[in-house]
Amino acid sequence: MRASRRSRQPTGALAAAPDVTVLINNAGANPPSGSLLNVTDADIRANMETNFFAPVFLARAFAPILAAAPDSILIDVHSVASWYAFGGTYSASKAALWPATNSLRSELAPKGVHVTGVHMGYVDTRMAAHADANAPKMAPADLVTAVYDAVEAGQFEVIADELTAQVKAALSGPVEALYPELSAAIARAATPKRRRPAEVPLACRRRNGSESIRGGPR
């Protein structure tokens, strides 16, 4: 896909698909680390380019084409990471895409374009190969079926698995309910750390005519 340096328009995609009626933004990339602190600025920008800017710019570019077609559809694939921060920049990028999809939905609905956002946990693809072997993974075919059924029913959002449903339900509660490890981390940080006493030279004092040692072993 070739983008104009000035307009950031995906001109190659527009030329290849001038009559598209369904646009699916499913591209995604993992950052080098799940931390926001232990990656470079370039890593953060690159991940945001793929996971946030690319789908937004594609939607903007294809909006006139979709609006000109009857019953056209835009599908943005998010993640449970939109609502649960476990992936550093990945979570941040998916969180940013969620309200962007909501904004696109509001703007495109009067133009006859139906916008659906898809949220799910791990899907059994190469992108999730790094996940814990015991972590539940959704079959790709099951996710596709869920998305097709939702679009056919006119739904605006797909909550594809139980994990995602639980996380979304927890958003209305306190932050520490969604992240119980915070309380333990704060407690540990508040506990005074034991430090070895500073070493001081041996000092001799005469008290009542006797010699005492200060700073040496007892």
Nearest to 106 by CA among 95, 96, 117: 117
Active centre residues (catalytic): 90, 94
DSSP string, 115-183: EEEEE-S-BSSGGGTTS-TTS--B-HHHHHHHHHHHHHTT-SEEE-SHHHHHHHHHTTS-HHHH-THHH
- Tell how strand 203-207 and strand 72-77 pair up: unpaired
CA 86 to chain centre: 7
Provide the 8-state DSSP code for 192.
P
Helix (H, G, I), strand (E, B) or coil at 204: strand
Are the beta carbons of 137 and 131 closer than 8 angstroms?
yes
